Structure 1
């Protein structure tokens, strides 16, 4: 009897486990329709989970779920679909219950790819990256350039890369079980930015990678891609440590370029401006007024105007590159004048063509006020909370119009002596005391800037030339303000012999504005 009871218990204990295995096999054999073209593996798993009502679990350190997979759309079993998605990886799968799939590591023997990464002189390259795309297998070369990749048997493509070197791909690398495949990789230097030439002091050209200091370069296209009224605005955000201080006197207003902060409390902190090796003056020939003095005279009735700076007059269409030299590097090249850094501007020159190269650029931009302050329209102008308002002394009492503070009577339609807009004096009759809402907003226009530029260049092996003409017309957001600018540039380069080259550049700028916006009293 005891033996019969024991056999019966074993029989019933095995029943549920057998049921689970059967259900697990059922989910593996479930038919689904699936396809993926360039989809990340984790997204593919999510699609399968939604269509099959299952859950797929895996460890990110075991499986690269960001690799792209390509699977032709067709009806397959869930197991066949997973086999395709995991092909070439070190993982397999197993069912864990009725609705769960676990991605696990394969237990089969693995092979390896070993070797060294060297340069064109057979010198080791430590820190080079060697990987097998699509599998997650990656290795970093050691001090001696050696690396090891462990992978399941198969045929793969191996990719090696290193900074300033061309990426190399070796295809059809065979890996056998429990064996080492030797693969030595030689990388060639890349013809990239690290070999670019940078213009430093006095027109000296040096390779970017040979400089011992920071020298970021901004291409001319980056300045004209979205052209604004003042081309220096394009420098903002493109160079670390560069602070552009604007005068808020319109598109023709002056500005300052500060590099790495202000380091002088009493002197000038502006960066040195150098155009084609020539240091230019930041001034405009007519200075901005200060200390309450008017730009148009000595009367305090007029507000001072900002005439801008020579930096603004440079035509951005003629700029080839802008190199920014910061701190001690610039000081060593330009002495005390470059102690605050330097902005090195190189203008365009002619290029050799079979014929003439003609370029025409046309640009239009619009601008408007971005934000408005919150204004109150409950109380009007006045002094010390007076209950009346009078533009100048009048029958109601002394003048209360000598302040800009809104600390006067409440707007209630009452009648006061106010400004007569025709005579610019006190009105002869009382007028209603009411607010004029949005009057300031209605005052401003939509700013417009139109730029048209044409250039012609060409030349031979020994002589090249370039001529350009640019017209800029600006109407600013303040009515009846703006400017026009006409620029002409001529550049001629001639190589006399191997030891003598003559470069000649002529630039003419004419900027005109008959109503500069007021800059306020400083």
Structure 2
């Protein structure tokens, strides 16, 4: 009888000695569960189920056995007689004795762990068709912050675990696949193309589980590579159904551009008053280079006169073609820059039409076969994606083979091979040109579709501007104003030029387990992760060869190789009835090699569009680089247990690395953790089904990158003879040490109310010392800087995970998981005498700093200069800023992140949805600031006229400055024109008198939010940009994904010889429930790195990302 996860097997005849219990364990679909743990409660004795889910165990009469498996609810069974039983496990994250994968691929019972881990299973990873493994984990793991670069399947993803851990060096976690290291690292966006990293290439369809080791104690066995945490990916092995099986999955989804800036749709391009006169003092020019009083130009084209938005290009007319302070939209015929006559109206999808709808099709088929001696899974996955960026697509083929051979009862061999073939055509391009360049910002009167038609001439050459410019097709020259060069150049680059990548990656593992006797187990393992990437870049000839040289061609080959091996001897012994001992010792070695070669034409192509190196005009340009890394380690593990409720583990690792000189390249990383199961040790109230406390301490590292510690000198020559010169760059340091992360954590976890409510709470504190930084040196030393260990960071935080089953009936189950993390980061110290470090600047007017006593990533900016406690206004009516006393206007690190996931199941219907959130943390929203400067955004409608709050004024000249004078009259005292778009800024002049100077609203927005009018080195009260107003708090709650599914009933499945067949619809990145940044995707600002800084450079703006998108799709899964 099974009741509330307690199974009682009774009989009138009860033996008094040990009895044998046999059984078969299945999952919720009645498939065998291999590797299920069956143990006697309160003792270490136990066994695991085989590939058929079967087990045999000798137990004392009247004893209780505990059956547990990763991702399933544990079951306790009271055994009173010899019996053969069948137990069906039920999914759930509330298992009492989950078996989890830990460092070095070692599986351990979760109850024995003295540190926090989080594991996500395949069903969560694959339920909403996520393009990569990590993006499926948004909001699901406490202590982990995920930031994916918009751009789809080809873009990288950043993972930050328990706060920032380094000022200048990589913060990405170590990636382990099937127990061995794999290529990962930070992703980059070279040449404007959005790159990827190793973890984004892993096929989600082949992943069984993802486990995150967050603390130093959990990751200490990885030593110098574990300062940023560890992600353990276990691939599917095919264990489960006995005999032959087939798994099939296919899904299709579309991505549509989302979260666009909210443009104003009231007025279009232009300026009613010549912007330049506000600088020259020429108040006689009342329009823009001859525009009529309403702001229109008039041009003649093909014998007909039309009104035009701004002056034509070849007249040298408009100085401000991108400003949107012009005429109101009226729907009347107007000639546009592409020579087309259209109604003068705002375009519905002006910016969005610069992109395309993305399509993604993924199909996976896997074959499994389980016998008494072998377990095999072969999988093939094909993925085709058409990206959001124009002409962006990729085709990816993935093959996975996982074999386990039981050669003898004591010897098992496992081989795992994963092969990736990936062709990427035109990676997505970042929006830098489109949002961070005044020449490319596409306003609401424009439309991306027009640029897709006009980017090239009918002969295939690049567009030509100006009436008098040489061209083979002069009638097609673009000579009307308001053309956005940045946009049309972007379209040319996307549609005319081609950049192709062909990547082949293979990672494989061979592992042997030799059970020497009942106490000793020897494991040896070797692996490789090899990636070869070939790139071809074809730059189309932009002009005819008769008019000049253009075009180009380059090829490159890039190899990344990792070779790894380890060996481990394990000794297990019950020292007494109550005390168990497990000791392991081992050795690991790893060799990494990179080889990069590229060659390109120079000076253009001698034959138009001949993409061959032989077509170079000048000698070809070539480059080559290579790098090597060797590291090895010795490690030891000691586990002690007492009555299966008290566990103590100690580990030690000795590392050596070639990144530092011999004699200074050996380091030690100890760790210890303890776990105490209170419910087994004490007589607690029955409310508690499971209660555990734990504590741990560990030390891990982050060694310097290859070659940076080397002391090197440059070569120069005199009269052709080389000689060694001084080092005019950074100077190495042969005594540099790894950054070291000391971390302590305590936690409590439990299950209550018959396992209907669970919790896992962790407090941690880490201190990262010996920060590797560069100390600036005077040039007289012969170097610009020297590498040093100086500085320390700390993170302190709380991680909370709650799980509950609020409703559970025969036909309906509701499960909910909630997690939350609060982290406080602090820079404890820098080099002696140094109190702050400049990480970078935004637009030259916002400093991004690391300051002692503060979290990393402070924004410091000039604010408005104060005179007698009031804002100070200059003679032209604008604010003066104080550049001598910068103020802290925000910090990029959030105060909390988290999420919650709900799962509903009614009979054969399922509904899952998740929400994640971020609390606080500021971002420099530079793009939104510049859109304001141009008059694109809705807030710039304020003061556009009297109806919108504008003041009436006329202009006078005063000591070389143009000043607005407020008036109620219809004309100025000397006949001056009266305007109605004035603003009077509250404050005083520098002499303390109240401000009376009225400025036009276009002048205010264009000047106060412009790009870099001053700099941080400015002295005294200076007119600058109010950039600090666009350092914005970034809090959001996002409805991340939803999936609705239907599974065929078991009787129907049996008729078609299937074990599962389900159809689902899903959506991802759907909408914001709440956000403080309204005019963009709140995640877009931190997608390049976890905290807006990467290798010393600020990245928390919309510089080089792609637009975000919503995804909608349909999925079919079947098992036979």
Give the TM interval when normalised to the shorter protein. 0.5 to 0.7
For 1:269, the equivalent position in structure 2 comes to: 171
- Contact kept, 8 Å, 2:373 with 2:405, in 1: the verdict is yes
Partner of 1:232: 134
Question: What is the CA-CA distance between 1:378 and the residue it aligns to?
Answer: 2.9
Aligned counterpart in structure 1 of residue 110 of structure 2, from 198, 208, 211: 208
**Deviation (angstroms), 1:465:** 1.6
Q: How does 1:417-428 map to 2 (within 5 A)?
A: 418-420=336-338
d(CA) in 2 for partners of 1:244, 1:341: 13
1:368 alignment counterpart: 256
Change (3 A) 1:265 1:391: farther
Q: Which moved more, 1:472-481 or 1:409-418?
A: 409-418
User: 242, 245, 264: which one pairs with 1:357?
Assistant: 245
The answer to whether the Cα contact below 8 Å between 1:380 and 1:406 also exists between their aligned partners in 2 is: yes
1:106-145 matches, cutoff 5 A: none
Residue of structure 1 in register with 2:217 after alignment: 329
Q: 1:379 to 1:309 in 2, by over 3 A?
A: same
Q: Distance in 2 between matches of 1:414 and 1:466?
A: 67
Counterpart position of 1:53: none
Superposed displacement of residue 414, structure 1? 8.2
Question: Measured at CA, do residues 409 and 336 of structure 1 come closer, stay the same or move farther in structure 2, by a change above 3 Å?
Answer: farther
TM-aligned CA distance change 1:213 to 1:517, over 3 Å: same
- In structure 2, the residue corresponding to 1:439 is in which secondary structure? coil
* Inter-partner Cα distance in structure 1 for 2:122 and 2:314: 63
1:214-293 correspondence to structure 2 within 5 Å: 214-282=116-184, 287-289=188-190
Moved more, 391-400 or 465-474: 391-400
Q: In the alignment, which residue of structure 2 is the partner of 1:393?
A: 313
- Correspondence for 1:449 among 336, 360, 367: 360
Match of 1:379 among 267, 283, 289: 267
CA deviation string 1:189-219 (max 9, x = no partner): x997232221112221111110111111111
Q: Contact (CA 8 Å) 1:391, 1:399: kept in 2 or not? A: no
Write the distance in 2 (CA, Å) between the matches of 1:213 and 1:267.
Answer: 26
What's the secondary structure of 2:398's corresponding residue?
Answer: strand
Q: Given the superposition, is the C-alpha separation of residues 353 and 247 from structure 1 closer, same or farther in structure 2, using an over 3 Å criterion?
A: closer
Tell me the distance in 2 between the aligned counterparts of 1:194 and 1:354: 27
Please identify which structure carries the higher helix content. 1
Q: Which runs of 5+ in 1 are unaligned?
A: 1-118, 123-162, 169-189, 295-303, 421-426
**The one of 370, 379, 403 aligned to 1:459:** 370
Tell me by how many angstroms 1:164 deviates. 7.3
CA distance in 2, matches of 1:246, 1:411: 39
Change (3 A) 1:235 1:217: same
Compare relative contact order (CA 8 Å, sep 6+) and give the higher one, 1 or 2. 2
What is the distance in 2 between the residues matched to 1:447 and 1:201? 39
1:338 corresponds to 2:226: yes
Deviations 1:406-438 (A, max 9, x none): 244544578988533xxxxxx5x9987653333
Q: 1:500 aligns with which of 403, 411, 422?
A: 411
Deviation at 1:329, TM superposition (A): 2.5
Give 3-state SS (helix, strand or coil) of 1:230's partner. coil
Q: Post-superposition shift, 1:246?
A: 1.6
Deviations 1:54-112 (CA, angstroms, capped at 9, x unpaired): xxxxxxxxxxxxxxxxxxxxxxxxxxxxxxxxxxxxxxxxxxxxxxxxxxxxxxxxxxx
Change (3 A) 1:382 1:273: farther
Q: Report deviation, 1:342.
A: 0.8
Q: Distance in 2 between matches of 1:165 and 1:380?
A: 69
CA 459–205 in structure 1, closer or farther in 2 if over 3 Å, else same: same
After superposition, the Cα gap between the structure-2 partners of 1:413 and 1:365, relative to the gap in structure 1 and judged at 3 Å, is closer
User: TM-score, length-normalised on structure 1?
Assistant: 0.54
Structure 1 381/312 Cα, relative in aligned 2: closer, same or farther at 3 Å? same
> Is residue 471 from structure 1 mapped to residue 382 from structure 2 by the alignment?
yes
**Aligned equivalents of 1:316, 1:409: Cα separation in 2:** 53
- Preserved contact between residue 241 and residue 260 of structure 1 (Cα < 8 Å): yes
Cα distance between partner residues in 1 of 2:244 and 2:42: 44
| Change over 3 Å in CA distance of 1:396–1:519 after alignment to 2 | closer
1:368 is paired with a residue whose SS is strand
What CA distance in whole angstroms lies between the structure 2 residues aligned with 1:120 and 1:206?
16
Secondary structure of 2:314's partner? Answer: coil
**Aligned-partner SS, 1:335:** helix
In 1, distance between residues paired with 2:75 and 2:365? 39
| Separation in 1, partners of 2:74, 2:204 | 31
Distance apart, 1:391 and its partner CA: 6.7
- Counterparts of 1:58-207 in structure 2 under 5 Å? 166=76, 193-207=95-109
Q: Is residue 319 from structure 1 mapped to residue 221 from structure 2 by the alignment?
A: no
Note closer, same or farther for the CA distance 1:437–1:488 as it changes in structure 2 (3 Å cut). Answer: same
- Contact between 1:203 and 1:276, CA under 8 Å: does it hold in 2? yes
Decide whether the 8 Å contact of 1:217 with 1:323 is kept in 2: yes
Asked if the contact 1:377–1:437 (Cα under 8 Å) also holds between the matched residues in 2, the reply is no
Give the counterpart of 1:515 among 408, 422, 426: 426
Distance (whole Å) between structure 2 residues aligned to residue 396 and residue 411 of structure 1? 25
Is 1:330–1:339's contact at 8 Å kept on the other side of the alignment? no
Whether the 8 Å CA contact 1:350–1:493 is kept in 2: the answer is no
Q: Decide whether aligned partners of structure 1 residues 448 and 166 sit closer, same or farther in structure 2, where only a CA change above 3 A counts.
A: same
Check conservation: 1:465, 1:493, Cα contact below 8 A. Answer: yes
Larger radius of gyration: 1
Aligned to 2:324: 406
Cα distance in 1 between the residues matched to 2:353 and 2:426: 20
Q: 1:492 to 1:287 in 2, by over 3 A?
A: same
Q: Note if contact 1:391-1:419 (Cα within 8 Å) is conserved in structure 2.
A: no
Unaligned runs of 5+ residues in structure 2 are 1-39, 44-72, 79-88, 276-287, 289-294, 297-308, 433-1102, 1104-1120
Looking at structure 1, the residues matched to 75 and 178 of structure 2 have their Cα atoms a distance apart, in angstroms, of 33
TM-score, normalized by length of structure 2?
Answer: 0.26
| 2:196 is the counterpart of 1:308 | yes
Tell me how far apart the structure 1 counterparts of residues 153 and 116 of structure 2 sit (CA, whole Å). 30
Work out the CA distance in 2 between the residues paired with 1:211 and 1:277. 18
Whole-Å separation in 2 of the counterparts to 1:438 and 1:370? 11
Q: 1:327 to 1:356 in 2, by over 3 A?
A: same
SS in 2 for 1:456: strand
Count of residue pairs the alignment pairs up:
320
Separation in structure 2 between the aligned mates of residue 203 and residue 364 of structure 1, nearest angstrom: 34
Give the 3 Å change call, closer, same or farther, for CA 120–326 of structure 1 in structure 2: closer
Task: Give the secondary structure class of the aligned counterpart of 2:160.
Answer: strand
CA 1:397–1:351 in 2, change beyond 3 Å: closer, same or farther?
A: closer
Q: In structure 2, what is the Cα distance between the partners aligned to 1:466 and 1:167?
A: 33
Relative to structure 2, which stretch is displaced further, 250-259 or 489-498? 489-498
Asked if the contact 1:313/1:511 (under 8 Å) is kept, the reply is no
Give 1:223 deviation, angstroms: 0.5
CA shift in 2, pair 1:391/1:264, >3 Å: farther
